[in-house]
Amino acid sequence: MSMKKLKTLATVVAALGAVVAAPAHAGKTLDAVKARGQVVCGVNTGLAGFSAADSNGKWAGLDVDVCRAVAAAVLGDGEKVKYVPLNAQARFTALQSGEVDVLSRNTTFTLTRDASLGLSQTAVTYYDGQGFMVPVKSKLKSAKQLKGQTVCVQSGTTTEKNLTDFSKANALNIKPIVFEKLEAAEGAYFSGRCVAYTTDASGLASTRNKVAKNPADHIILPELISKEPLGPMVRRGDDEWTAIVKWTVYGLLEAEEAGITAANVDDLKTSSQDPVVGRLLGSKEDTGKLLGLDKEWLARAVKTTGNYGEIFERNVGPKSALQLPRGLNNLWNKGGVQYAPPVR
């Protein structure tokens, strides 16, 4: 090969390298968030453990913490979030129309939602499955004993279709009683209008804890009839914002794996010689520039919410009011399926 061709090839390779390593260009959502000084986050109207407001209007929950972590990464302050409570029917329209920047509302990832709504799925924050709750006095022990029975369910959800599929597959002739609002479906079940209530198992635990006069009077049947990977969604077409939301979740998982917590993040930022820790916290590498952020984006997120394990434990884990086992949501190296691509 001639010297001229070698120089040309070297120029092309160098240019490609520059493209690969180039900082991200700020997308329109990131620009809008920065100009507004606030992340607008669509959440559930009230699902304990995931997103619910207390009597003072302060929001808390696993889905809420995702929004707080994103705000900390982008704006430097996890409190710079405006929460927009959305029911199941309104959630996708609110995101499509630009009313919210991110939908963090116990929403199942499916092919239809990812491919046909003009929205993008990001990262799974909770692996769930649909179940059934019944009164203890019903003496039902299995979902397959619901033949011909009434089941309360919310419309506009994957739950409604899963119930129909389960009924047909097992020839149960279940009679769904459908409600537009979550509160109406819960109220009908607790008033005795339905033999059972169905939604994601995490939602059943939340409802039992929050709404039942005596939670011990209700049991969640052992079967899960579906896969329900839940996580935040964003509008399609803004790759930079998609990457920020996705990698914030991945970063919280990576932080747990690396032993970085809200309590030790500041110390590790200056004292750790571990290259993985240094990369995550920005003390040895700057991954933020690839996202259009600064080098301490993830350190701020972890300091605000704790790592993924801390978020889980505080909101829904065995020591919380919901008392949900970590189960599938454990890290991959601890028997679960939570596995984040490396932040590097």
When divided into structural domains, the chain yields a total of: 2
Same domain, 91 and 182: no
Same domain, 137 and 93: no
- Taking residues 290-307, report their average pLDDT: 98
Task: Dump pLDDT digits (tens) for 257-296.
Answer: 999 999 999 999 999 999 999 999 999 999 999 999 999 9
Task: Determine the residue type at 40.
Answer: V
Same domain, 162 and 181: yes
Question: Is residue 249 assigned to a domain?
Answer: yes
Residue 310 confidence (pLDDT): 98
Task: Dump pLDDT digits (tens) for 180-201.
Answer: 998 999 999 999 999 999 999 9
Same domain, 134 and 91: no
Question: Is residue 283 assigned to a domain?
Answer: no
Distance of alpha carbon 103 from alpha carbon 90, whole angstroms = 11
Residue 157 confidence (pLDDT): 86
Distance of alpha carbon 92 from alpha carbon 329, whole angstroms = 25
Question: Is residue 171 assigned to a domain?
Answer: yes
At 112, which helix (H) or strand (E)? helix 111-116
Same domain, 98 and 172: no
Same domain, 73 and 88: yes
| Domain range enclosing 195 | 130-226
- Taking residues 78-94, report their average pLDDT: 96
CATH number at residue 313: 3.40.190.10
More confident residue, 3 or 341: 341
Distance of alpha carbon 297 from alpha carbon 251, whole angstroms = 10
Question: Is residue 280 assigned to a domain?
Answer: no
Question: Is residue 6 assigned to a domain?
Answer: no
Same domain, 100 and 246: yes
- 143-152 as b/e: b if 16+ CB within 10 A: bebbeebebb
Statement: residue 31 has pLDDT above 70: yes
Residue 20 confidence (pLDDT): 47
- Taking residues 240-267, report their average pLDDT: 98
Task: Dump pLDDT digits (tens) for 134-165.
Answer: 999 999 999 999 999 999 999 988 899 999 99
What global pTM score does this model have? Answer: 0.87
Q: What tokens does 264 get? A: 């030790």
Same domain, 114 and 134: no
